Structure 1
Amino acid sequence: MREIRHEPNAPTRVRSLRPGAVIDAHRHDDHQIAYAARGVLAITTDAGSWVAPANRALWIPAGTVHAHQAHGALQLHLVGLPATDNPLGLERPTALSVSPLLRELILACTGMPPDETPERQRLRAVLLDQLRASPQQPLHLPAPRTPRLAAVCEILYADPADSRTLPELGRAVGAGDRTLSRLFRAELGMSFPQWRTQLRLYHALFLLAEHTPVTTVAHRCGWSSASAFIDAFRRTFGHTPGAHVP
């Protein structure tokens, strides 16, 4: 059984993590906002994973067991909030849009001394106001529970560019495509094509954080062309993947 670290207080601080670095599973008694000013952050829980590029932040509710992983050189800004401060009433990890003002508030909070001063309290009050106005983003990749569905997902985790159809993948794991299609919707809340696209976009973010060229990312993630990848990326993230490549 894995050991889960308990940290009563969620820290407010900045951490620099090298590419591939992991913060092992732990939980806080406080809520926490995690924001990557540089690189891409992924958090994993038993319910699945969430990913955040620089225009998203991750809300991590109090008590949630989670692990962090850095993709690219990560500059991670963490803001701890008391369990009583939950402006959106969120009970599970959620990706939130980060406006320019919210970004500056997060950077200001993590750049201040840790003392609980009137200035910090005022800054936190404005930050909470901005969180209330932050749209939630569908950047969750749910985790499968049943073995047959998990086997299909593991194949695609290993190679997001695998273009086999659901019936073909089903034959590889000994499951019918109708059963698998039902399980995708029942367990993961989305169709097989939707889940595979989400997985490919996640993988694309990780590759872009490592400065992989856009055309190479498109090929390694299973898109038929760079233009098809760029269109899918823009629809989901609101900007082109070129913004992630220097």
Structure 2
Amino acid sequence: MFRESATTLPPVRNVQLDDVDRVARAVLPIGTDYASGQVLDWHRHRRAQFLYGATGVMIVETDDETWMVPTDRAVLIPAGTRHRVTMLDVSTRSLYIEPDAVPWWPRRCAVVDVTPLLRELLLVAVDFAAEYDLAGREGAVAALLLHEITRLSPVPLHVGLPSSPDLAGLCRAYLADPDVQVTNETWARRLAMSERAFTRRFRREAGISPAAWRTRARLVASVPLLRTSTVTQVASRLGYSSPASFTAAFSRAFGFAPSTLPRS
């Protein structure tokens, strides 16, 4: 005979982590719906976070990197990492995990593809109460979630940032509004530096030349643009000679074609 679940408490949806953070569960699933364009300003969590977007695109910023997270991908955020998230039509299914339960968690953020099985587990888990039954079905699902996360492959949907605030500020502004007309001279002038001195300093901090960084940044910045625009429109917006050349560069950088990203 089937028996009803003993869980009578409401599911953890659209609540603040602080309200349930001290619940004695290694894995806390929380589902949250965000207003379009909502920004979760700079913050950090005591727990590690598996942040999955069931819809929309997330822009996740840390002090030294920016990550684009399309629908059906997730970002693994280490415990204590300072970050900011911009939500573009996003509904999340997050897991907040005690650090001791995931000693294998990456030390830096990582975007990963989410398998169909993991997606279904996440959709089930966000209907659990905070104090779900560890000995029953809910506990088994929570344990399986961690096993499935260890099998995921990273996707390089990110770009690094220089360490100094002025250079990082230029880069963040460029990611928000990539302008193909910007040159090294443009950026050097904004910082009242010679082009040679600027280029040398940028390369020292970022590990690549400013021009190479902007090329990479345009590809990364194309991910949220592809949410509402066609490949042809984005290719033209970012200065590519044709949709085919943009598709080739995107596929080479990220391992999948831009046409595979869902549109709003």
Given the two structures, how large is their TM-score scaled by the length of structure 2? 0.77
Aligned match of 2:70: 53
Deviations 1:110-130 (A, max 9, x none): 233333313222222222222
**Alpha-carbon spacing, 1:178–1:213, altered in 2? closer, same or farther (3 Å):** same
Aligned match of 2:126: 110
Aligned match of 1:74: 90
Question: Which structure has the greater CA radius of gyration?
Answer: 2
**Alpha-carbon spacing, 1:183–1:125, altered in 2? closer, same or farther (3 Å):** farther
Q: Distance in 2 between matches of 1:190 and 1:103?
A: 36
Does the alignment pair 1:138 with 2:156? yes
RMSD after superposition: 2.9
Aligned match of 1:127: 145
Aligned match of 2:42: 25
Does the alignment pair 1:187 with 2:205? yes
Q: Distance in 2 between matches of 1:167 and 1:33?
A: 40
Aligned match of 1:227: 244
Alignment partner of 1:99 out of 115, 126, 133: 115
Q: Answer whether contact 1:203 1:221 (CA < 8 A) is retained.
A: no
Structure 2 unaligned spans of 5+: 1-15, 22-26
Deviations 1:84-133 (A, max 9, x none): 12253312222122222222222222233333313222222222222222
Deviation for aligned residue 1:182:
4.3
Deviation for aligned residue 1:82:
1.0
**Alpha-carbon spacing, 1:243–1:152, altered in 2? closer, same or farther (3 Å):** closer
Report which stretch shifted further, 9-18 or 145-154.
Answer: 145-154
**Alpha-carbon spacing, 1:152–1:63, altered in 2? closer, same or farther (3 Å):** closer
Q: Distance in 1 between matches of 2:80 and 2:171?
A: 27
Q: Answer whether contact 1:33 1:58 (CA < 8 A) is retained.
A: yes
Aligned match of 2:55: 38
Deviation for aligned residue 1:58:
0.6
Deviation for aligned residue 1:83:
1.4
Counterparts of residues 3-18 of structure 1 (less than 5 Å) = 7=18, 9=21, 12-18=29-35
Q: Distance in 1 between matches of 2:257 and 2:81?
A: 30
**Alpha-carbon spacing, 1:105–1:229, altered in 2? closer, same or farther (3 Å):** same
Alignment partner of 1:208 out of 220, 223, 226: 226
**Alpha-carbon spacing, 1:194–1:201, altered in 2? closer, same or farther (3 Å):** same
Whichever residue aligns with residue 28 of structure 1, its letter is H
Whichever residue aligns with residue 20 of structure 1, its letter is G
Q: Distance in 2 between matches of 1:150 and 1:63?
A: 21
Whichever residue aligns with residue 142 of structure 1, its letter is G
Among the aligned pairs, what percent are the same residue?
A: 31
Whichever residue aligns with residue 102 of structure 2, its letter is N
Q: Distance in 2 between matches of 1:222 and 1:206?
A: 16
Q: Answer whether contact 1:152 1:173 (CA < 8 A) is retained.
A: no
Q: Answer whether contact 1:87 1:131 (CA < 8 A) is retained.
A: no
Given the two structures, how large is their TM-score scaled by the length of structure 1? 0.81
Q: Distance in 2 between matches of 1:184 and 1:56?
A: 31
Name the SS for the 1:244 alignment partner.
coil
Structure 1 unaligned spans of 5+: none
Q: How many residues align?
A: 240
Report which stretch shifted further, 167-176 or 12-21.
Answer: 167-176
